[in-house]
Amino acid sequence: MHKQIAILALATLLAACGSTPQRKVETRGTPAPVEEHAVGAHTAPATGGGYLAGDGPGTDVPANLDAIPDAVPKSEPPHRYANRPYVALGKTYTPLTAAGNHKERGIASWYGKKFHGQRTSSGEVYDMYSMTAAHPTLPIPSYARVTNPASKKFVVVRINDRGPFLHERVIDLSYTAAHRLGIIGSGSAEVEVESIAADTSLNTLARPDTVQSRPLEKAEAAVASSAPAASPAAAAGSNIYLQLGAFKSAEAAESFMEQMRAKLGETAKQLGVFVKDGLNRVQLGPYANHDEARSNADSLKGRLGFKPLVNLR
């Protein structure tokens, strides 16, 4: 009788162990969006995108998602536990020990209200409206630039979680990061992920799509003159400027201008914001003529990492 009781107790214990939930890093591995043909998937309204039942954008989406700034890389101590090798869905992952030396291309997904307010692998509370992401092996915490090749848009996110582990996806973005990349509607998209070192210059993180690129008129296409810059008096009545960037929100323009001031030094005295066609344009000038503007654009390219555009007000 005692033997039968012991066997029943052992069987009960084994059954309980078998039903114990997997540890957080594994259950978090299920990405929010899935292919429409996957089991349990459904198609949400056009503004929501594809995601697992119970997940999605939520009902309290901030109205200023486009104004939420990118994460700013800074030096942070590595998390004590989140960077150890681990197993998720039967596969072993070994996190990288340093940021800035990893680049990959693959499918990104996003996760939303189902995980909003829950603990991430770093122990922080997940905020779907902040610029964060989950990655299988990038250091926690660290930073990454995620680019959508189709639109050329990119964002900078802080890695503070592990995942995704299904469908060979390379990164799981916060709702805001996915919105900024334009992949909320599709649920997932091909992206390029590049790890960023903590000491990366802010200048190199300026969005490439913020600079309004348009071909110069034929009259402006001549080789830049090496003539000395004109005096301030000569440029006083000019409408010729160099455009460094253009933004929908005034806050984004001001933030970008602060970054440029740090790079331009004394030249930053000529920096200002000009609103035109609904865009806040960060411009430098004025310049006396097109030759002077183009010459300065060439000389600034090395300092800024991009060549400003000649622009008429």
pLDDT in tens, 67-85: 899 999 999 999 999 999 9
Report the predicted TM-score, pTM, of the whole model to 2 decimal places. 0.53
Q: What is the mean pLDDT of the chain?
A: 74
Homologous superfamily in CATH for domain 23-199: RlpA-like domain (2.40.40.10)
Q: What secondary structure does DSSP assign to the chain, as a single string? A: -HHHHHHHHHHHHHHHHHTSPPPHHHHTTS-S---TTSTTEEEPPTTT-EEETT-SS-S---TTGGGSPPP-----PPPTTTTS-EEETTEEE---SSSSS-EEEEEEEE--TTTTTSB-TTSSBP-TTSSEEE-SSS-SSEEEEEEETTTTEEEEEEEEE----STTEEEEE-HHHHHHHT-TTTSEEEEEEEEE-TT--GGGGS-GGGS---PPPGGG-SPPP-PPPPPHHHHTT--EEEEEEEESSHHHHHHHHHHHHHHHGGGGGGEEEEEETTEEEEEEEEESSHHHHHHHHHHHHHHHSSPPEEEE-
- Residue 236 clears pLDDT 50, i.e. is over it: yes
Residue bearing the bigger pLDDT, 201 or 129 = 129
What mean pLDDT do residues 198-205 have?
A: 58
pLDDT of 200: 61
Assigned CATH class of 208-312: alpha beta
121-135, 173-187, 272-286: least confidently modelled range: 272-286
Q: Where are the domains of the chain?
A: 23-199, 208-312
- Residue 307 clears pLDDT 90, i.e. is over it: no
What mean pLDDT do residues 253-270 have?
A: 81
- Residue 12 clears pLDDT 90, i.e. is over it: no
Confidence tier at 31 by pLDDT (50, 70, 90)? very low
